[in-house]
Amino acid sequence: MNQSRIESFLQFQLPAIAWALFIFTVSSIPQTKLPSFIGYTDKLVHAAIFFILCWLFHVAFHFQRNSFLRRYGLWAALLLASSFGISDEYHQYFTPGRSTDVIDWIADTAGASLYVVIYSRFQFYRWFKGKSAEE
């Protein structure tokens, strides 16, 4: 592996992998050791965590050599984040004190979808990339 590929991996793919590992690690903690949230505040936490996950997946896909991943990276990021939410809920079924909750998965997917909506609406990467010095 040459130096630029290693740097690319460290800069663009590793953050997504690290964040996914963080989510997996936190969801492995028994419920009794986690802070409790008031009402549906935990759903906002789920949405925020998966908003970030979708963003990191999108960045990882955006900077791939594979043109299909670059082209459809936003949708692949949404699909992967939502799928990861399903696998995380399934994983929690086996964690003491935790349970599988469809509403948590919906919150996960809503957070990832919010990233897609915001990105699609404002198109941050394209806007900066397309700017020239004269504008």
> What is the mean pLDDT of the segment spanning 60-89?
93
**pTM for this one?**
0.84
Mean pLDDT across the stretch 61-82?
Answer: 92
> Which ranges in the chain belong to alpha helices (H)?
3-8, 14-27, 41-62, 67-71, 73-93, 102-122, 124-130
Residue pair 16/56 in contact (Cβ under 8 Å)? The answer is yes
Mean pLDDT, residues 49-69: 93
Is 23:90 a contact under the CB 8 Å cutoff? no
Res 124: pLDDT: 61
- For residue 47, what are the CA distances in angstroms to 7, 69, 115, 122? 30, 24, 10, 20
- The number of beta carbons lying within 10 Å of the beta carbon of residue 34 is 13
The per-residue b/e assignment along 16-26, b for 16 or more CB within 10 angstroms, e otherwise, is beebbeebeee
**Band of pLDDT at residue 22, cut at 50, 70 and 90:** very high
pLDDT given at position 8: 85
Average pLDDT over residues 97-116: 94
Q: Which of 57-61, 66-70, 111-115 bottoms out in mean pLDDT, i.e. has the lowest?
A: 66-70
